[in-house]
């Protein structure tokens, strides 16, 4: 079987050159699926995985726009429509200078499995642009979003493909994108999720990824008779996922002690309380400032700037109990993972997509950590997007409590699927295998039933 993995990976690398993140995401899944193919050779002979790896459609387009000085700018827009076996394509849009085809393909591939795990009928997709909203005025962001949607709108629709936010795409960007879609299509439909609350959005959607990640951690701890009460938690990033991870950790009596952005990190040994979190939300969501300001405002915190060329990230080298990487891909390497173990961390729960390298995951497994992989742990965001789609179709809005309760129920169900599937396939406690296999089976069965399409 290891020949199968080697051959498949060689093929993936040859067909998709210069896409290391995509190779990494596929490799991680293939390793788990070997357990399935040993029992069910029919999936292998029908080449189901090979079909899942190939996007159903890739859309690549030019996004011209003018900056505030009237200078013409040109960015690249993407939408990867990866798999629609169990529902319309669904997945976020990322605006970040690092965006390229390989990164979006890794994200779209992950999304297929994640969406399958949510229990809701959603296929997988992802998109975005190498546009950097940082430092841009609202007018520039609006003009960019309008130009981006002027091409994208013909490819999406409430029953075809429903994008949402991701890094660099929050409420402001979704607003501009939705406005332009509505104007072009001349219809008011649930074509995007993460909408404003007065125009079709769902309560709890902004909170959902962070809250869901903490609910997943809570379930993992429960299997060992433990809770989050009093636990010191490392949280990276300071955007949407990080902020609501901190909020839910506080609700459950944990003590978050770090945050970061691409310039540096803060360590607040006294704990990030609600007042400090409110400061961060205002800083990041309104003033769009840097996390360094936190340490200027709160003397209990120290700031460490990112050092170019460093071999490890200091945020993962602090005494703590739990880690919630919530910034970006590959933020935890092998050295960082070893530092986490050394510093007493017993749980890693991934709010970001693929924040741990394959080597880091090896370290977690070796050390017997509770490891909640992204496609399970951060699925609360897209699950609540699914709930937003349901509310749009029903033309009604559920209360905050109702959505939160459904989100909690979905995270408990995802945890159960991962836990039970891992045990069923002979690798108890290995949530990564449980998530990959659980996510795969539903999509694979739908593809087998729908024939070669």
Q: Which residues are marked as active site? A: 126
Q: Could you give the CA distance from residue 246 to residue 313 in angstroms, rounded to a whole number?
A: 20
**Of 67-75, 260-268, 389-397, 423-431: span binding ligand NDP (CB under 6 A):** 260-268
Output 83 or 243, the one with its CB closest to ligand NDP.
243
Output 328 or 417, the one with its CB closest to ligand NDP.
328
Question: What 8-state DSSP symbol labels residue 306?
Answer: P
Residue numbers 228-247 binding ligand NDP by CB under 6 A: 237-241
**Of 13-21, 147-155, 172-180, 325-333: span binding ligand NDP (CB under 6 A):** 325-333
Instruction: Report the nearest approach of ligand NDP to the CB of residue 131 (Å).
Output: 13
201 lies in the site for ligand NDP, by CB under 6 A: no
Tokens (6 digits) for 173? 């960007």
Output 261 or 321, the one with its CB closest to ligand NDP.
261
Instruction: Report the nearest approach of ligand NDP to the CB of residue 203 (Å).
Output: 15
Tokens (6 digits) for 349? 């729960």
Instruction: Report the nearest approach of ligand NDP to the CB of residue 245 (Å).
Output: 9
Instruction: Report the nearest approach of ligand NDP to the CB of residue 441 (Å).
Output: 22
Residue numbers 344-403 binding ligand NDP by CB under 6 A: 351-353, 378, 381
327 lies in the site for ligand NDP, by CB under 6 A: yes
Output 284 or 419, the one with its CB closest to ligand NDP.
284
**Of 44-52, 71-79, 159-167, 398-406: span binding ligand NDP (CB under 6 A):** 159-167
Q: Could you give the CA distance from residue 299 to residue 327 in angstroms, rounded to a whole number?
A: 24
Size of interface with ligand NDP, in residues (CB under 6 A): 22
Chain residue whose CB lies nearest ligand NDP: 239
Alpha helices in 71-225 (DSSP H): 101-117, 138-152, 171-185, 205-222
- Find all residues with CB under 8 Å of 448, minimum gap 6, and list them: 42, 43, 46, 48
Instruction: Report the nearest approach of ligand NDP to the CB of residue 168 (Å).
Output: 5
Instruction: Report the nearest approach of ligand NDP to the CB of residue 94 (Å).
Output: 7
Q: How many CB atoms lie within 10 A of CB 212?
A: 31
Q: How far is CA 333 from CA 50, 130, 328, 338, 359, in A?
A: 28, 25, 12, 9, 7
Instruction: Report the nearest approach of ligand NDP to the CB of residue 83 (Å).
Output: 17
Identified binder of ligand NDP from the candidate list 21, 28, 81, 166, rule CB under 6 A: 166
Q: How many CB atoms lie within 10 A of CB 453?
A: 8
Output 293 or 424, the one with its CB closest to ligand NDP.
293
Site string for ligand NDP, 204-233 (x = CB under 6 A): -----x------------------------
Residues 235, 249: contact at Cβ < 8 Å?
yes
Read off φ and ψ for residue 373, nearest 5 degrees.
-70, 150
**Of 62-70, 257-265, 398-406, 424-432: span binding ligand NDP (CB under 6 A):** 257-265
**Structural element, H or E, at residue 419:** helix 400-424
Output 95 or 425, the one with its CB closest to ligand NDP.
95
- Find all residues with CB under 8 Å of 54, minimum gap 6, and list them: none
Output 209 or 436, the one with its CB closest to ligand NDP.
209
Per-position DSSP letters for 140-163, written without gaps between them? HHHHHHHHHHHHHGGG-BTTTEEE
Residue (of 77, 70, 60) closest to 149 by Cα position:
77
Identified binder of ligand NDP from the candidate list 189, 262, 335, 390, rule CB under 6 A: 262
Residues 116, 442: contact at Cβ < 8 Å?
yes
Instruction: Report the nearest approach of ligand NDP to the CB of residue 44 (Å).
Output: 30
Output 218 or 242, the one with its CB closest to ligand NDP.
242
**Structural element, H or E, at residue 9:** helix 2-15
- Find all residues with CB under 8 Å of 285, minimum gap 6, and list them: 170, 243
- Find all residues with CB under 8 Å of 177, minimum gap 6, and list them: 93, 145, 148, 149, 152, 163, 169, 192
140 lies in the site for ligand NDP, by CB under 6 A: no
Residues that bind ligand NDP (CB under 6 A): 165-168, 170, 209, 237-241, 261-263, 326-328, 351-353, 378, 381
């Amino acid at each position: 079987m290891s020949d199968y993995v080697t051959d498949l990976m060689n093929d993936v690398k040859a067909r998709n050159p210069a896409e290391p993140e995509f190779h990494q995401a596929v490799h991680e899944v293939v390793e788990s699926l070997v357990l399935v193919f040993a029992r069910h050779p029919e999936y292998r002979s029908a080449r189901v995985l090979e079909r899942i790896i190939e996007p159903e459609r890739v859309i690549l387009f030019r996004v011209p726009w003018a900056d505030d000085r009237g200078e013409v700018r040109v960015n690249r827009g993407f939408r990867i429509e990866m798999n629609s076996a169990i529902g319309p394509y669904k997945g976020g849009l990322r605006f970040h200078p690092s965006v390229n085809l390989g990164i979006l393909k890794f994200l779209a591939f992950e999304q297929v499995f994640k969406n399958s795990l949510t229990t809701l009928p959603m296929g997988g997709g992802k998109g975005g642009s190498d546009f950097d909203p940082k430092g841009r005025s609202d007018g520039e962001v609006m003009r960019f979003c309008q130009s981006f949607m002027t091409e994208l709108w013909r490819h999406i629709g409430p029953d075809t493909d429903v994008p949402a936010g991701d890094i660099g795409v929050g409420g402001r960007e979704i607003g501009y994108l939705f406005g332009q879609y509505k104007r072009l299509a001349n219809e008011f439909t649930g074509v995007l999720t993460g909408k404003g609350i007065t125009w079709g959005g769902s309560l709890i959607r902004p909170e959902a990824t962070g809250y869901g990640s903490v609910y997943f951690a809570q379930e993992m701890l429960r299997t060992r008779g433990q809770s989050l009460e009093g636990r010191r938690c490392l949280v990276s990033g300071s955007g949407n996922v990080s902020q609501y991870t901190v909020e839910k950790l506080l609700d459950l009596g944990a003590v978050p002690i770090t945050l970061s952005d691409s310039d540096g990190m803060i360590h607040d040994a006294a704990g990030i309380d609600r007042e400090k979190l409110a400061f961060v939300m205002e800083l990041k969501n309104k003033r769009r400032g840097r996390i360094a300001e936190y340490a200027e405002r709160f003397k209990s915190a120290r700031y460490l700037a990112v050092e170019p060329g460093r071999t490890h990230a200091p945020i993962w080298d602090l005494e703590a109990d739990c880690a919630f990487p919530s910034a970006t891909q590959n933020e935890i390497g092998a050295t960082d993972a070893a530092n986490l173990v050394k510093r007493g961390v017993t749980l890693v729960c991934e709010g970001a997509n693929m924040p741990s390298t394959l080597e880091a995951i090896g370290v977690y497994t070796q050390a017997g950590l509770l490891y909640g992989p992204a496609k399970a742990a951060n699925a609360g965001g897209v699950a609540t997007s699914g709930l937003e789609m349901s509310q749009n179709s029903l033309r009604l809005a559920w209360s905050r409590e109702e959505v939160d309760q459904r989100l909690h129920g979905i995270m408990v169900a995802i945890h159960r699927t991962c836990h039970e599937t891992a045990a069923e396939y002979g690798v108890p406690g290995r949530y990564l295998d449980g998530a990959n296999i659980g996510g795969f089976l539903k999509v694979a069965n739908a593809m087998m039933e729908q024939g070669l399409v």
